[in-house]
């Protein structure tokens, strides 16, 4: 099968994510953290995306050792996640999350940069590669949700093992040929060396439309980070357990499959800004449905994961890889991570923590839904104005 390693790499990344992201706030809550503390802990990964993650991406691009940097990050994550078992106080949990975030924040953008570029080079539809991650995530998160009811710490041991397997799969990626070719040219021609250095100081993207794309990405992550940070806590308040959280996350992952089957057709028919406007609107509706506290409506909300998050993710990642300046693919995806996983997640975590503490988690869903609609309306109007 052509490009089998790309499917396996994407699948393994999302397996590692399924053993941490959906359940970590439940772990915080069971450790006795209140809503404000959970908001602070959830903000650490976004802070790392704003501060440390761009440095990793720049290192990967400037050295041309993207694969080696990714492998180093994976090994550090495998070690850092083992700090969680045995933590008790807020300070201890804070230290464990901080250490893990230093490395984990840069894994996805560098991995996406490598996988998307390799898929394009081999003529593979990235939607199919990403679908492998979706199916893997759905399968693991469903089983994990039932098992973690009595064995919460096993999520960290499993995450560590999966990062080691992920590292082995990343060894199958080829070296960055474009960067190596550029380095050989620099050694032969000193003037070319100066040209490359000047280009490295220039803009990262070829179009100013990127600012609109990033605004939509920010809005999506702003909403989804509040959802992911407080859904588990919300379910505990309603009297449910990790098993329901696992089922809901499985439903949301499976809802991505029809979108991935159709996304190339939709991308050819509609502009990126149109698709992103619809996606963020779906995210707002999703938050409204979650606020009802009814299991059936929460399941319906999870069915909107595909039309909301996956549309936004796919459009942003492929647009950036297409519009990035040659030689800056890691920094291009890093910019998306900076805005989405950094600014968007940080706003969702900190503002979300305040809203949950002052008004309650349920009311927070509604408030953020209206904020998303306002951002979407402003971005949509701007996009229409730019076309005219």
Nearest partner of 336 among 17, 137, 126, 113, judged by Cα: 113
Q: How far is CA 14 from CA 7, 92, 168, 218, 316, in A?
A: 11, 27, 15, 21, 18
CA atoms of 46 and 344, how far apart (whole Å): 8
Kindly state the tokens that stand for 291: 């606020």
Q: Among candidates 336, 330, 338, which has minimal Cα distance to 50?
A: 338
Say if residue 189's pLDDT is above 70.
Answer: no
Q: Are the beta carbons of 327 and 61 closer than 8 angstroms?
A: yes
Q: Quick one: CA torsion of 156, 159, 165, 170, rounded to 10 degrees?
A: -130
324: phi then psi, degrees, rounded to nearest 5: -75, 150
Residues in the chain: 388
Average pLDDT, the chain: 83
Q: 4-172+203-387: which CATH topology?
A: Growth Hormone; Chain: A; (1.20.1250)
pLDDT tens figures, 105-130: 899 889 988 998 888 888 888 888 98
pLDDT value of residue 354: 83
pTM above 0.85, yes or no: no
45-97 pLDDT, tens digit per residue, is: 888 888 898 899 888 888 888 899 999 999 999 999 999 998 888 999 999 99
What is the separation of C-alpha 192 from the centre of its chain, rounded to a whole number of angstroms? 36
Structure tokens at 384: 């229409």
Cα–Cα distance for residue pair 319/325, rounded to 1 Å:
12
Q: CB neighbours (10 Å) of residue 296? A: 9
pLDDT tens-digit map of 314-371:
898 888 878 777 777 777 777 888 887 778 877 877 787 788 888 888 888 899 999 8
């Amino acid at each position: 099968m052509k490009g089998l390693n790309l499917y396996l790499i994407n699948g393994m990344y999302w397996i590692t994510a399924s053993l941490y992201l959906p359940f970590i706030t439940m772990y915080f809550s069971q450790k006795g953290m209140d809503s404000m503390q959970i908001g602070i802990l959830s903000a650490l990964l976004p802070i790392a995306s704003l501060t440390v993650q761009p440095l990793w991406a720049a290192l990967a691009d400037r050295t041309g050792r993207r694969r080696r940097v990714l492998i180093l990050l994976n090994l550090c994550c495998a070690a850092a996640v083992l700090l969680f078992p045995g933590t008790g106080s807020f300070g201890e949990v804070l230290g464990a999350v901080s250490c893990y975030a230093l490395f984990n924040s840069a894994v996805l953008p560098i991995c996406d940069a490598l996988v998307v570029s390799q898929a394009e080079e081999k003529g593979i539809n990235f939607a199919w590669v990403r679908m492998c991650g979706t199916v893997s995530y759905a399968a693991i998160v469903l089983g994990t949700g039932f098992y973690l009811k009595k064995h919460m710490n096993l999520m960290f041991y499993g995450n560590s093992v999966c990062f080691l397997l992920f590292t082995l799969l990343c060894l199958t990626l080829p070296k960055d040929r474009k960067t190596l070719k550029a380095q050989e040219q620099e050694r032969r021609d000193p003037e070319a060396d100066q040209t490359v250095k000047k280009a490295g100081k220039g803009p990262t993207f070829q179009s100013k439309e990127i600012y609109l794309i990033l605004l939509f990405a920010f809005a999506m992550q702003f909403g989804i980070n509040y959802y992911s940070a407080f859904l588990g806590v919300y379910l505990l308040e309603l009297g449910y357990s990790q098993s329901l959280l696992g089922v809901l996350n499985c439903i949301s992952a499976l809802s991505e499959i029809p979108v991935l089957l159709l996304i190339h057709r939709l991308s050819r028919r509609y502009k990126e800004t149109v698709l992103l406007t619809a996606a963020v609107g779906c995210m707002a509706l999703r938050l409204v449905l979650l606020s009802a506290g009814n299991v059936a409506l929460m399941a319906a909300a999870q069915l909107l994961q595909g039309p909301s998050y996956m549309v936004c993710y796919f459009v942003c990642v492929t647009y950036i890889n297409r519009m990035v300046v040659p030689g800056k693919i890691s920094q291009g995806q890093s910019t998306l991570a900076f805005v989405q996983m950094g600014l968007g997640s940080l706003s969702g975590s900190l503002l979300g923590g305040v809203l949950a503490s002052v008004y309650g988690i349920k009311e927070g869903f509604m408030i953020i839904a209206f904020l998303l609609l306002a951002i979407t309306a402003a971005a949509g109007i701007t996009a229409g104005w730019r076309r005219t």
